[in-house]
């Protein structure tokens, strides 16, 4: 039975005693016990005894939802979105990528790549990929740059990175359009060469991940992940 708030499963437990060896006498009586199980319609339920093989409806619904990703330019202390998109050379761009997880299992966000172009067309030329190879912030390797992923993260579903301002040589418009590809993995999944956030540390001359073991960044040096 379906009510506005519950699914009600009803059954009866019937006990019919078998007559003993002597049919003349009985020592127990038949019994019928009605049983009802009420399951809330607006929540998932679980049981320590019954382990259903079906997927809870809420999980199915979550998997069909599209994940809303966002990418914002933040002010210098990361407290709010930056009001202006005008920068001077020598300043630092503070990016914050995030994803709204809704009812999903915990997710970890990554920035796969970021490409700068002089027009909104991602395939236009010239172009400069400052994050590439599935999460390597290659701009940080340049002598005149301090670009880096911010570690630790504020949350698993947020990733922040700072990039020194730049412009295209010979472009009088001084416009830069940035397109980034964001993705997620399960937070319980260990970072790997395809799911990582790696910055170049000039002091040690090594790549370092925001989380995970250093070997996940080894492919950044080879520039093939």
Q: How buried is residue 185: exposed, middle or buried, by Cβ count under 10 Å (0-12/13-18/19+)?
A: middle
Q: What is the pLDDT of residues 9-48, one digit of tens each?
A: 999 999 887 776 666 666 778 899 999 999 888 765 565 6
> Residue 64: which pLDDT band, with cuts at 50, 70 and 90?
low
What structural domains and CATH numbers belong to the chain? 2-40 (no CATH), 69-222 (2.60.40.4100)
pLDDT at 18: 77
pLDDT at 17: 78
Higher pLDDT, 160 or 57: 160
CB within 8 Å of 9: residues ≥ 6 apart? 36, 37, 39
Helix (H, G, I), strand (E, B) or coil at 2: strand
How many CB atoms are located within 10 Å of the residue 101 CB?
19
Two tokens at 24? Answer: 């003349």
Residues in the chain: 225
Q: Rounded to 10 degrees, what is the CA torsion of 201, 180, 144, 124?
A: 140
Look at residue 217 and give its three-state secondary structure.
helix
pLDDT of residue 83: 97
Q: What is the pLDDT of residue 94?
A: 98
Average pLDDT (153-172) is 95
Question: 217 near 196, Cβ under 8 Å?
Answer: yes
108, 185 Cβ separation under 8 angstroms: yes
Q: What is the pLDDT of residue 51?
A: 59
Of the two residues 218 and 46, the one the predictor is more confident about is 218
Average per-residue pLDDT in the chain? 90
pLDDT exceeds 80 at position 218: yes
What average pLDDT does this structure show over 104-120? Answer: 95
Tokens of 50: 């019954």
């Amino acid at each position: 039975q379906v009510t506005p708030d519950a699914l009600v499963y009803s059954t009866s437990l019937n006990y019919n005693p078998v007559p003993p060896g002597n049919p003349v006498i009985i020592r127990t009586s038949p019994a019928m016990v009605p049983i009802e199980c009420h399951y809330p319609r607006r929540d998932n339920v679980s049981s320590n005894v019954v382990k259903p093989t079906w997927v809870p409806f809420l999980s199915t619904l979550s998997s069909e939802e599209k994940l809303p990703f966002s990418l914002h330019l933040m002010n210098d202390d990361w407290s709010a979105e930056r009001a202006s998109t005008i920068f001077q050379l020598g300043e630092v761009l503070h990016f914050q990528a995030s994803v709204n997880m809704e009812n999903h299992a915990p997710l970890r966000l990554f920035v796969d790549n970021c490409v700068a172009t002089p027009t909104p067309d991602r395939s236009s030329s010239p172009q400069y990929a400052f994050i590439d190879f599935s999460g390597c912030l290659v701009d940080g390797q340049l002598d005149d740059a301090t670009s880096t992923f911010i570690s630790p993260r504020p949350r698993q579903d947020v990733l922040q990175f700072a990039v020194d301002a730049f412009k295209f040589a010979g472009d009088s418009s001084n416009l830069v359009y940035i397109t980034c590809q964001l993705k997620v993995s399960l937070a319980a999944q260990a970072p790997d060469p395809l799911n990582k956030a790696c910055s170049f540390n000039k002091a040690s001359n090594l790549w370092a991940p925001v989380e995970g073991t250093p070997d996940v960044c080894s492919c950044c040096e080879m520039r093939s992940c």
